[in-house]
């Protein structure tokens, strides 16, 4: 194993992330400490060596003055050789090793360790979490949190520990020269600490506000770009520009507020740093004039004073960056770490589907409201039965499917598959047993092959092609070509499949579901975007795919589900009718009214509500 592999960058965290800063840091960095601790020791050793450099400088001067110029090298050759070895070999060696550990072993791995853990936890949130926020803002928070924490750890090791070791060593050095100079340095350090104590919390607070405003800008821009076709169709460039400018204006105000505190901090910092050389060198000169210190002591004290004065600015701005990053980490924690609201039981088994029987047992769900959603759904779907779900917009069709997929937990009653309550099995095993084809097909900006293979990642190329052929997608896929010159199954489809027509996207989605070959198939307007000729061929393919599977098909175009074994009619969240197509027509109820008004068309929600 190479040194760069000493931290596993993708190791899992086995507990949820804590919501307090200190515990979150420990959670995010668990497993990295065997590298972080030695890296900190190396950095501190580099700080000690800086003080040793000043000490050796003073010793060289004292030894030089103690011998005649003609015999300096002869009298002190061993000491001078050791000094040369320290400056040429030992000091650069420690600095180089420290830089290697931080740049190669630590930083790349720690960043990915944090990001992978944060991202895994974010993926575990319910659909509601993502519905309530901008996609761009959430992804921004993930990256922001990982980058900020990685920067904090790097700066603490690289700057803070280095500087702390330098300060402690400097106090020891000047104190050994004269205790009064050491006491003066300690007093200066106390004042410096009070300055940091005053400014750093304010920097932290304003940084947090700035980070939140920046994330809102990102979310606004991503939301606009994601829906750019809608923006163009409604000619709302000016409207979106104004929304973006409002978000940017808030960010600008927060940035300026941060700039005020940063400017004040810089002024007082430089003023304080300027007093250090005057204090230490002036004191050393005064004591030299009284015979208490040597010329070499003055040089050593001067070197320490100049070095600490320079380091003060560097370390202070590093601390300002650390506190700014801490503000961003806390902002990310607030966004990302809320408790998961849809959890598997600790000992939840995987769902087994030997038959495919689905039972809704007095199931109800209203999205936490008093009304809406569905209620008192009692529905028993036999294995391999084909059931159509119809109803006006808002009748509860999509809610019914979402509950079956356990995107939400029922608030009343339960849903059972082959006698197993889906609330008691793992969510992943449940969704692996259900194939889904929606009206708004989800496409990744990946190749056609990857999008189809998403149904079963281990599928062979032959199996992918066979699924595409069944979905009537193979021919048009062969003619695809993207902007990078990739063709056929290697061509990328663009974000959300924008480079395909609606019918092509739906056929890709059908191929994906065919490849998944789950025992339960759910279709939500699966052929709504297809022209009549293609729809006919797809319907034939779907009939073959549906053989032996339990099927729920949502449709507004009633002709697509007329041949189903049973049709369930929803109205205002309740089942009001169910039966075969012919039986429902003979009943002359709500379904018959839909059918008569359609003539093969689509339900008019306004008419259906009458």
pLDDT at 34 over 80: yes
pLDDT in tens, 480-513: 988 888 899 999 887 655 677 777 888 888 888 8
Mean pLDDT of 289-304: 76
Least confident of 90-104, 233-247, 407-421, 470-484: 233-247
> Pairing state of beta strands 358-365 and 374-381?
antiparallel
β partners of residue 353: none
More confident call, 533 vs 177: 177
pLDDT at 370 over 70: no
Tokens of 480: 């695809």
State residue 552 phi and psi, 5-degree precision.
Answer: -115, 125
Mean pLDDT of 58-79: 77
The CATH T-level fold of domain 444-517 is: Rossmann fold (3.40.50)
Q: What pLDDT does residue 607 have?
A: 44
d(CA 449, CA 388): 31
- Give which of 459, 594, 435 is closest to 518, Cα–Cα: 435
Q: What is the DSSP string of 161-219?
A: HHHHHHHHHHHHHHHHH-HHHHHHHHHHHHHHHHHHHHHHHHHHHHHHHHHHHHHHHHH
Question: Quick check: 584 and 592 in contact, CB under 8 A?
Answer: yes
Q: What pLDDT does residue 388 have?
A: 93
Q: Which residues contact 291 (CB under 8 A, 6 or more apart)?
A: none
Q: What pLDDT does residue 385 have?
A: 94
d(CA 169, CA 46): 11
β partners of residue 361: 414
Three-state DSSP class for residue 6? coil
pLDDT at 290 over 50: yes
β partners of residue 522: 436, 552
DSSP-assigned letter for residue 70: G
Q: What pLDDT does residue 433 have?
A: 93
Segment of 162-166, 350-354, 470-474 carrying the highest mean pLDDT: 350-354
Q: How many Cα neighbours within 13 Å face the side chain of 182?
A: 12
Q: Using a pLDDT cut of 90, give the percent of the chain over it.
A: 27
Q: Which residues contact 379 (CB under 8 A, 6 or more apart)?
A: 358, 359, 360, 568, 575, 578
Q: How many Cα neighbours within 13 Å face the side chain of 475?
A: 4
Question: Quick check: 104 and 292 in contact, CB under 8 A?
Answer: no
Mean pLDDT of 106-135: 86
pLDDT range class, residue 198, cuts 50, 70, 90: confident
Mean pLDDT of 405-433: 92
Q: What pLDDT does residue 602 have?
A: 46
- Give which of 145, 131, 125 is closest to 334, Cα–Cα: 145
Q: What pLDDT does residue 173 have?
A: 79
pLDDT at 317 over 50: yes
Q: What pLDDT does residue 577 have?
A: 93
The CATH T-level fold of domain 349-433+520-610 is: Rossmann fold (3.40.50)
Per-domain residue ranges of the chain = 9-336, 349-433+520-610, 444-517
State residue 370 phi and psi, 5-degree precision.
Answer: -75, -30
Question: Quick check: 336 and 141 in contact, CB under 8 A?
Answer: yes
- Give which of 393, 424, 394 is closest to 410, Cα–Cα: 424
pLDDT at 175 over 50: yes
Residue-averaged pLDDT of the chain: 84
pLDDT at 246 over 80: yes
pLDDT at 138 over 80: yes
pLDDT in tens, 439-468: 766 778 889 999 999 888 999 999 999 999
Mean pLDDT of 593-608: 61
Segment of 155-159, 282-286, 289-293 carrying the highest mean pLDDT: 155-159
pLDDT range class, residue 537, cuts 50, 70, 90: low
Sign of CA dihedral 113, 118, 123, 124: positive
Mean pLDDT of 410-430: 93
pTM of the predicted model as reported, rounded to 2 decimal places: 0.68
Tokens of 81: 């050789």
Judge whether 349-433+520-610 and 444-517 match in fold.
yes
Mean pLDDT of 160-172: 84
Sign of CA dihedral 134, 139, 144, 149: positive
State residue 322 phi and psi, 5-degree precision.
Answer: -65, -45
CA R_g for the chain: 35
DSSP-assigned letter for residue 547: T
Neighbouring CB atoms inside 10 A of 372's CB total 15
Q: What pLDDT does residue 236 have?
A: 77
Tokens of 84: 């040369």
* Homologous superfamily assigned to 9-336: ABC transporter type 1, transmembrane domain (1.20.1560.10)
Neighbouring CB atoms inside 10 A of 228's CB total 13
pLDDT at 40 over 80: yes
Q: What pLDDT does residue 568 have?
A: 94
β partners of residue 350: none
pLDDT in tens, 570-583: 998 999 999 999 99
């Amino acid at each position: 194993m190479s040194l760069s592999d000493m931290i596993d960058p993708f190791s899992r965290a086995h507990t949820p992330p804590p919501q307090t800063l200190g515990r979150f840091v420990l959670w995010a960095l668990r497993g990295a400490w065997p590298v972080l601790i030695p890296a900190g020791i190396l950095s501190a050793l580099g700080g000690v060596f800086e003080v040793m450099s000043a000490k050796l400088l003073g010793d060289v001067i004292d030894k030089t003055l103690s011998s005649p110029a003609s015999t300096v090298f002869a009298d002190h050759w061993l000491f001078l050789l050791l000094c040369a070895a320290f400056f040429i070999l030992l000091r650069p060696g420690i600095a180089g090793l420290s830089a290697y550990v931080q740049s190669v072993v630590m930083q790349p791995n720690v960043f990915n360790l944090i990001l992978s853990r944060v991202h895994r936890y974010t993926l575990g949130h319910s659909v509601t979490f993502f519905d309530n926020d901008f996609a761009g803002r959430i992804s921004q928070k993930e990256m922001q949190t990982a980058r900020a924490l990685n920067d904090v750890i790097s700066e603490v090791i690289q700057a803070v520990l280095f500087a702390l070791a330098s300060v402690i060593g400097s106090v020891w050095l000047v104190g050994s020269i004269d205790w009064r100079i050491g006491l003066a340095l300690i007093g200066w350090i106390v004042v410096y600490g009070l300055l940091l104590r005053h400014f750093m919390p304010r920097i932290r607070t304003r940084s947090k506000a700035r980070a939140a405003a920046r994330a809102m800008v990102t979310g606004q821009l991503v939301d606009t770009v994601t829906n750019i076709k809608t923006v163009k169709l409604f000619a709302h460039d000016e409207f979106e520009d104004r929304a973006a400018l409002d978000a940017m204006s808030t960010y600008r105000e927060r940035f300026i507020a941060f700039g005020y505190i940063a400017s004040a901090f810089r002024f007082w910092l430089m003023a304080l740093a300027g007093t250090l050389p005057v204090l230490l060198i002036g004191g050393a000169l005064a004591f030299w004039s009284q015979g208490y210190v040597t010329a070499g002591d003055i040089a050593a004290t001067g070197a320490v004073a100049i070095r600490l004065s320079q380091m003060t600015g560097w370390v202070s701005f590093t601390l300002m960056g650390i506190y700014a990053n801490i503000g961003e980490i806390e902002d990310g924690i607030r966004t990302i770490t809320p408790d998961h609201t849809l959890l598997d039981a600790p000992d939840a088994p995987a769902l087994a589907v030997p038959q495919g029987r689905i039972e809704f047992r007095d199931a109800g769900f209203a999205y936490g409201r008093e009304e809406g959603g569905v209620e008192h759904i009692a529905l028993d779907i036999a294995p391999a039965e084909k059931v159509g779900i119809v109803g006006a917009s808002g009748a509860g069709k999509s809610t019914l499917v979402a509950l079956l997929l356990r995107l939400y937990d029922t608030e009343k009653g339960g849903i059972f598959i082959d006698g197993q309550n889906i609330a008691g099995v793992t969510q992943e095993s449940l969704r692996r047993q259900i194939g889904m084809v929606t009206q708004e097909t989800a496409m990744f900006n990946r190749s056609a092959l990857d999008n189809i293979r998403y149904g079963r990642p281990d599928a062979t190329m032959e199996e992918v092609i066979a699924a595409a052929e069944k979905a009537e997608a193979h021919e048009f896929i062969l003619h695809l070509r993207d902007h990078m010159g990739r063709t056929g199954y290697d061509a990328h489809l663009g974000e959300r499949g924008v480079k395909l027509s609606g019918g092509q996207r739906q056929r890709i989605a059908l191929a994906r579901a065919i490849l998944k070959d789950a025992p339960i198939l759910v279709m939500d307007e699966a052929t709504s975007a297809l022209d009549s000729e293609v729809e006919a061929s797809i319907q034939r393919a779907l009939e073959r795919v549906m053989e032996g599977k339990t099927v729920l098909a949502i449709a507004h175009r009633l002709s697509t589900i007329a041949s189903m074994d049973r049709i369930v009619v929803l109205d205002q969240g309740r089942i009001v009718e169910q039966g075969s197509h012919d039986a429902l027509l003979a009943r002359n109820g709500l379904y018959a009214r839909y059918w008569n008004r359609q003539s093969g068309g689509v339900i008019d929600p306004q008419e259906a509500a009458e």
